[in-house]
Amino acid sequence: MNMSATNTLKSATNTLTWYAKALRPDSVSIKPKPLGMKLDDATPTYWFDNNSFLTHFLTAFSAIFPEGESFMIHSVRLFRADISENKALNKDCGGFIGQEAHHSNEHSIINDFMVKRGIPVDKLEAFIEWWVPLVKGMPEKDQMAITGAAEHLTALFGDMVLRNPDIINQVDPAVRPIWVWHAIEEIEHKAVTYDLFEAVDGSYARRVYGYAIALAFLSVFVSYGTALFMIEDRKNFSFSGTAKGLWWMFGLGKKSGYLRKSAPFLLEYFKFDFHPWKDDNSNLIKEWRPELDRMLAEIKSKAAA
Ligand SMILES: [Fe+2]
Ligand SMILES: [Fe+2]
């Protein structure tokens, strides 16, 4: 990197040090902590509301995490050395890498569990793996833009889950902690890859381009996975369950339409002056951390009984 580019980067990272400190609430920290999840024979196959369609939909999400999060860690590692002078962001990158590594490991437990129950999560994982070298062959800054954008989508997921206790209550108690834990940590580290992208590039055009690619991948992987699981599990197809699931996604009721309601959050990313912490939802972390501890203690005491 030439001298003028280095100076520009230093100036950007100094600004960013102030920016990150100013926007992220002091109560939020990014500390990796494994969950230690276990699923046994008593766990139902359709762990979301006893609904096969919605369980398959959410399992498709779960299948994306190991490869997806490993790609995001790879992107952060590509640029971490460039921002080493920004101590706050560098520390956050370390926390981000640790948290995402744990998420991948824990989601593999759900994914392997579903394979044992006859749902071909491994086929979806193989499909996703096929795309990874192509994305890693893209310009490095494009990869960083995709990662920054993907984190907006996972932050959306975290906010949607924790803001709607009805969703959490629909998850079987054995599977519930992983979704709550993951949602909390996605909110905690929601600005890290955005700040890193802004420090190393920051171009609005590249940000939007990365967002389009991240959205396209997410849509294709989740749609393909859900369709694949539904087809292979067709003997358990339920018309009323699928209709209920579609209402859950797009319905007009107070306790439905969760995907439809996420549209404004999706559009936020197009704002010129967007920053993840302009929407301070740290109250969700404060509310749900103790609740997560309670859930884990309950599972532990049941296992000991
Ligand atoms: Fe994650
Ligand atoms: Fe994340």
Question: What residue spans define the domains of the chain?
Answer: 44-304
What pLDDT score was predicted for residue 1? 46
Phi then psi for 100, rounded to 5 degrees? Answer: -65, -35
| Ligand with the closest atom to the CA of 276 | 2
Euclidean distance between CA atoms 63 and 165, whole angstroms: 23
**Contact 192/147 with Cβ under 8 angstroms?**
no
| Helix spans in the chain (H) | 3-23, 52-79, 87-116, 121-136, 140-163, 165-169, 176-188, 192-200, 204-232, 239-250, 263-268, 282-304
Who contacts 287 (Cβ-Cβ below 8 Å, separation ≥6)? 162
In the reported structure, the alpha carbon of residue 76 is separated from the centroid of ligand 2 by a whole-number distance in angstroms of 11
| Ligand with the closest atom to the CA of 64 | 1
In the reported structure, the alpha carbon of residue 3 is separated from the centroid of ligand 1 by a whole-number distance in angstroms of 36
What pLDDT score was predicted for residue 4? 54
- This prediction has a pTM of 0.92
What pLDDT score was predicted for residue 20? 52
Who contacts 175 (Cβ-Cβ below 8 Å, separation ≥6)? 39, 43, 47, 48, 110
In the reported structure, the alpha carbon of residue 253 is separated from the centroid of ligand 1 by a whole-number distance in angstroms of 29
272 burial class (0-12, 13-18, 19+ CB within 10 angstroms)?
exposed
In the reported structure, the alpha carbon of residue 215 is separated from the centroid of ligand 2 by a whole-number distance in angstroms of 15
What pLDDT score was predicted for residue 67? 97
Per-residue pLDDT of the chain in tens (305 residues, 90 and over written 9): 455 555 555 555 545 554 554 588 989 999 999 998 889 999 999 999 999 999 999 999 999 999 999 999 999 999 999 999 999 999 999 999 999 999 999 999 999 999 999 999 999 999 999 999 999 999 999 999 999 999 999 999 999 999 999 999 999 999 999 999 999 999 999 999 999 999 999 999 999 999 999 999 999 999 999 999 999 999 999 999 999 999 999 999 989 999 999 999 999 999 999 999 999 999 999 999 999 999 999 988 888 87
What pLDDT score was predicted for residue 124? 98
CA end-to-end span of the chain, whole Å? Answer: 61
In the reported structure, the alpha carbon of residue 100 is separated from the centroid of ligand 2 by a whole-number distance in angstroms of 6
Alpha-carbon torsion angle 209, 184, 89, 66, nearest 10: -60
- Residues, the chain: 305
Euclidean distance between CA atoms 125 and 66, whole angstroms: 9
Euclidean distance between CA atoms 182 and 161, whole angstroms: 10
In the reported structure, the alpha carbon of residue 103 is separated from the centroid of ligand 1 by a whole-number distance in angstroms of 5
In the reported structure, the alpha carbon of residue 14 is separated from the centroid of ligand 1 by a whole-number distance in angstroms of 27
In the reported structure, the alpha carbon of residue 279 is separated from the centroid of ligand 1 by a whole-number distance in angstroms of 19
Euclidean distance between CA atoms 206 and 144, whole angstroms: 9
Helices 282-304 and 176-188: crossing angle in degrees, nearest 10, is 150
